[in-house]
Amino acid sequence: MSSNIHSVLKEFWGFEKFREMQEEIIQSVLDGKDTLALLPTGGGKSICFQVPALTKDGICLVVSPLIALMKDQVENLKERGIKAEALVSGMSKRAIDILLDNCIYGKVKFLYVSPERLKSELFIVRLKKMNINLIAIDEAHCISQWGYNFRPSYLEIINLREILPNIPILALTATATPKVVIDIQEKLGFKKPNVLQKSFKRDNIHYIVINDEDKMGRMMKIIKKVPGTGIIYALNRKKTQEIAHFLQKRGILAEYYHAGITPEKRSLIQADWSNNKTRIIVATNAFGMGIDKPDVRFVINLELTDSIEAYFQEAGRGGRDEEKAYAVLLINENDRINLINRVEKSFPEKDQIKKVYFAICNQLRVAIGAGEGATYPFNINDIKAQQNHNALEIYNSVKFLEQAGYFELSEAFYTPSRIKIEMNSSELYEFQIRNKKYDPYIKLLLRSYGGLFDDFSKIKEFDLATRSKKTISAIRKILRELHKLEVIIYEEQNDLPLLTFLQPRVDLKHLRLRKEIYDTRKEEALTKMDAVINYAFSNDTCRSQLLLAYFGDSNTDCGVCDVCLSKKRDKKLNSKQLKEIQNDIISLLQNKPLETSELIIKLATKHKEKNIRNMVQWLLDENIIKLNELNKIKLK
């Protein structure tokens, strides 16, 4: 079997060998063992289920909470010639039927589903007819109450055990504390505990925390000093735009990225950055999924994240080529206060959550006792306009309602329009003869897109409008009419989140938020917040040690983070000789600015060149001296 998995790796991915831990994880799965795989961000988790699934007959069922990531992985597999499908919210019943039939009777190798889909009777009935060879659970920490983005629907996954009792489960995550590791295996009903874990240690990443009131100025120094591409994370969309414009004005090729810009623009920005046409992406945490650019040399966070898990994932996007990279967190005293306020606001009062539920149901015109299973495009601004709620209150309230089992909210993602012809060719021909109005449009569709009788095809209304010399709205009207007449299935493009009612609308007096949904979650959030504050404001423990200890990993001091470097300097600065070098440098700079080389020449008879350079660097880091516009050193 070993040669088989290597040949699959070579054939579809072009790699000669596996990364660390991948082969052990794959072999564990092929041996039929339930397996929990912990690989850091960028560790190649998807190959761990894709390779073994391709060595066996049948389909791999992949459960994932992120629609955008599902779509990304499906497209990547298709580009490699591997048949894959994703079953996501918002699909019509007919589209779901076709997809599931292809999984039963066709050559589909990977079926991606959201955990919410596992409760669907339609899906369960068809699943029993599929030849499933492996169940892969991506982002497995979501199943744990103690995970940093718990998804209640993940608790349904264990029901697969009754339907597929002899199929191994592979759970994968990049971030899990020891408590979460135990919880994942219990919640998935592992037959035996089985954890395969790569150390969270990243020797090539230098973790640096800098306390500076002038974050923008310090950010510029880092960008000038560290060559190569980078990511700058900011807290909200407005800040990403401001920072990108700030960099552009200073001649740096930078673009901003967040969920509010068009899908086409996001794709273009990401492609330019990946191809090194853009040096820096300034992004919200929306930037990250599926990002595997290997040569990111620095990741700068301008605010504190809500958890160590979130920071570790963002910082881990640097240095995937295993070359030196810097993860820099810029802080000041306001950040502590801002994080505390942000966490508090993420727990709206229970009465506020009920008001948001009422506003959403009214906006979507869902009556009490109705709505179960219905899906709606969800525009937070519509709710905001109806009631005196701000966007953050609404979003956080919806997340609690989701955890309580009332809603499922997908992340915002772009789905292009697509169509499929529902009639066979002879039925369609007769329809065209009887309905001359639609004949030219049906011919246009058949000329423009292939395979419409067999499967869905992505379409662009703009292209159809151009070819027919009609407006886009006229084309959409015709396609909607053909859909209503059951000639075609027409699914229109969407770039809003989708809100699905998981149960009928309840009267407010019957709406319940259990203790584990609200109070326990708040306690956990405060614990995670304290860990972030400790990491950011501690100055006596190695940064890498702090991160590894959080995940139950151990290590000696890294020697390259800001704390370790400071300890090394402190030891040296206790010596009388280095104090003398410091005084000599400051004395010379009182007369005029000098280059480092000039300082070395003037002090060569008293001190070694290496010691002079080290002292200059230390004085720069401590802001005792600085560089002028001519790159000469002067006193602050």
pLDDT in tens, 455-504: 888 898 989 999 999 999 999 999 999 999 999 999 888 767 788 888 99
Please tell me the predicted confidence (pLDDT) of residue 322: 87
Confidence band, pLDDT 50/70/90 cuts, at residue 59: very high
Q: Per-residue pLDDT averaged across 164-184, rounded?
A: 92
- The rounded Cα 10 to chain-centroid distance in angstroms is 27
CA distance 294 to 582: 40
- Residue 519: the pLDDT is 84
- H or E element: which one contains 126? helix 121-127
Across 321-335, average pLDDT: 93
* Cα 538 from Cα 76, distance rounded (Å): 42
Report the pLDDT value the prediction gives residue 2, as an integer from 0 to 100: 45
Note the pLDDT of residue 251: 94
Do 179 and 531 meet the contact criterion of CB atoms below 8 Å apart?
no
pLDDT digits (tens, 9 = 90+) for 221-266: 999 999 999 999 998 888 999 999 999 999 999 999 987 777 678 8
CA distances for 461 relative to 71, 139, 443, 474, angstroms: 21, 36, 15, 10
Which of these ranges, 38-52, 312-326, 346-360, 612-626, has the smallest mean pLDDT? Answer: 612-626
Q: Which long-range contacts (CB under 8 A, 24 or more apart) does 373-378 make?
A: 373/500, 373/501, 373/502, 374/500, 374/501, 375/89, 375/90, 375/498, 375/499, 375/500, 375/501, 376/498, 376/499, 376/500, 377/494, 377/496, 377/497, 377/498, 377/499, 378/409, 378/496, 378/497, 378/498, 378/499
pLDDT bin (cut points 50, 70, 90) of residue 155 is: confident
Residue 532's pLDDT band, with cuts at 50, 70 and 90, is very high
Of 247, 315, 332, 235, nearest in space to 281 by CA: 247
User: Does the predicted TM-score (pTM) go above 0.85?
Assistant: no
pLDDT band at 505 (very low <50, low <70, confident <90, very high): very high
Neighbouring C-beta atoms of residue 410, cutoff 10 Å:
21
Straight-line distance from the first to the last Cα atom of the chain, in angstroms, rounded to the nearest whole number: 66
Neighbours of 451 (CB within 10 A): 10
Q: What are the pLDDT digits (tens) for 543-554?
A: 999 999 998 887
C-alpha–C-alpha distance, residues 319 and 293, integer Å: 9
Checking if the pLDDT of 413 tops 60, the result is no
Average pLDDT along the chain = 88
Does the pLDDT at position 347 exceed 50? yes
